[in-house]
Structure 1
Amino acid sequence: MALQTPRLLLRRWRAADAAPFAAINADPEVARHLPGVMPRALSDTLMARIEDHFDAHGFGRWAVERREDGALLGFVGGQQVHFEAAFTPAVEIGWRLASSAWRQGYAREAAEVCLRDLRQRVGLIEVVSFTVPANRPSWGLMERLGFRRDAAGDFAHPQLPADHPLSLHWLYRARLDDEGRPC
């Protein structure tokens, strides 16, 4: 199974994705709003966990491939939030793209088709997304997609120490119409 847009193929992960995905995860620019760059072994573990999520739930974070040249750009997709918070259980849509793929509309293009899939095939009516306040490109995309900030739901990420500079996360929510558009 795969999803397509005019420029992108969103598909399950392949063994050949491991090296380019590791390069994305090792890029300090990509990791600027994450706890740090990811070593290869951890990147491989993340890729395996993403595939396990697909197997368990029927959806997940798709490998995003540029159709023009087959380049792996990163991931976009939904996953069950894997920690406890006031807003869980929930499905989060998230993205991580290579810095060379930024500011070209790929994340939005992929997120829109993922939201449609989460509504129409998976049957979800609400999706969340979250990021740190400093990650303006990410929360800006959430807003352009139609997500609304739930300031009362902002939270300290439970996988980070409370005093960590990336602990505070802004929570965004979207109810999806029948076409998968936030409303």
Structure 2
Amino acid sequence: MLTTDRLLLRRWRDSDREPFAALNADPEVMRYFPSVLTREGSDAMIDRLDAGIEARGFGLWAVERRDTAAFIGFVGLSRPSFDPALADQVEIGWRLAREAWGRGFATEAAREAARFAFDPDGADLDALISFTAAVNEPSRRVMRRIGMPHDTADDFVHPGLEAGHPLAPHVLYRLTRAS
């Protein structure tokens, strides 16, 4: 469990399933993904995410506001599985409910996840990546706010999408322990 002034990054609970399903069914939240998720898909994602935390000691944690105890989404660390070229990397990522946007929660939680990633008593990693559809300016702003530089040489076409799909062009940002 990680804490910030306003947030708690924690393991998943059964009580997170309903609000997470609502978040994943919101077309505005999912506009930079190929589609929304069904309730079944959302529940399966929670099961995978929590199993990853159990196995590695880190993962995409559920995020809760400390003042209201409201679940607002996830932030954390994961290993990308869609592209063998990225399989040995650790990604920092986030997805928050629309009502949590514009308050600095993603940046605050991502900074804490990055701190944990590089902490010798945490994940003890040397580097993190983050990527998104090139058109996803809100996520790109979070990447820049947490100090992740962007090198266009690292950009790629998402292998799970057709080359002409508007979400296929992806940008990749990196952060190292030495940064």
Structure 1 length-normalised TM: 0.93
Pairs aligned (count): 177
Could you tell me which residue of structure 2 aligns to residue 23 of structure 1? 22
> What's the % identity of the aligned pairs?
49
What is the match of residue 143 of structure 1? Answer: 144
Bigger Cα displacement from structure 2, 152-161 vs 26-35:
152-161
Residue 83 of structure 1 and its aligned partner are, at CA, apart by 2.4
**Contact between 2:91 and 2:129, CA under 8 Å: does it hold in 1?**
yes
Give the drift of 1:176.
2.0
Provide, for residues 58-86 of structure 1, a one-character-per-residue CA deviation record: whole Å limited to 9, x for no partner: 11001000011111000000001112254
Residues 52-91 of structure 1 mapped to structure 2, 5 A cutoff: 52-91=51-90
* Cross-structure match for 1:50: 49
Q: What amino acid sits opposite 1:4 in the alignment?
A: T
What does residue 172 of structure 2 align with? Answer: 171
Instruction: Give, in angstroms, the shift of residue 42 of structure 1.
Output: 0.4
Flag the 1:20–1:63 CA change in 2: closer, same or farther, 3 A: same
Letter of the structure 2 residue corresponding to residue 89 of structure 1: D
CA distance in 2, matches of 1:152, 1:92: 18
The 1-side partners of 2:9 and 2:172 are apart by 25
SS in 2 for 1:33: coil
- Structure 1, unpaired ranges of 5+: 178-182
Cα RMSD of the aligned pairs, angstroms, is 1.1
Please give the TM-score of this superposition, normalised by the length of structure 2.
0.95
CA contact (8 A) 1:90 1:127 kept: yes
C-alpha distance in 2 between matches for 1:58 and 1:15: 19
1:145-164 map, 5 Å:
145-164=146-165
Contact residue 87 and residue 153 of structure 1 kept, 8 A: no
1:113: which partner in 2?
112
Instruction: Report how far residue 88 of structure 1 moved.
Output: 3.9
Gaps of 5+ in 2: none
Counterparts of 1:148 and 1:70 in 2: how far apart (Å)? 33
Q: 2:40, 2:114 → 1: CA distance?
A: 30
Aligned to 1:12: 11
Distance 1:42 1:9 in 2: 24
- Which stretches of structure 1, 4 residues or longer, exceed 4 Å deviation after superposition? none
8 Å CA contact retained: 2:80, 2:86: no
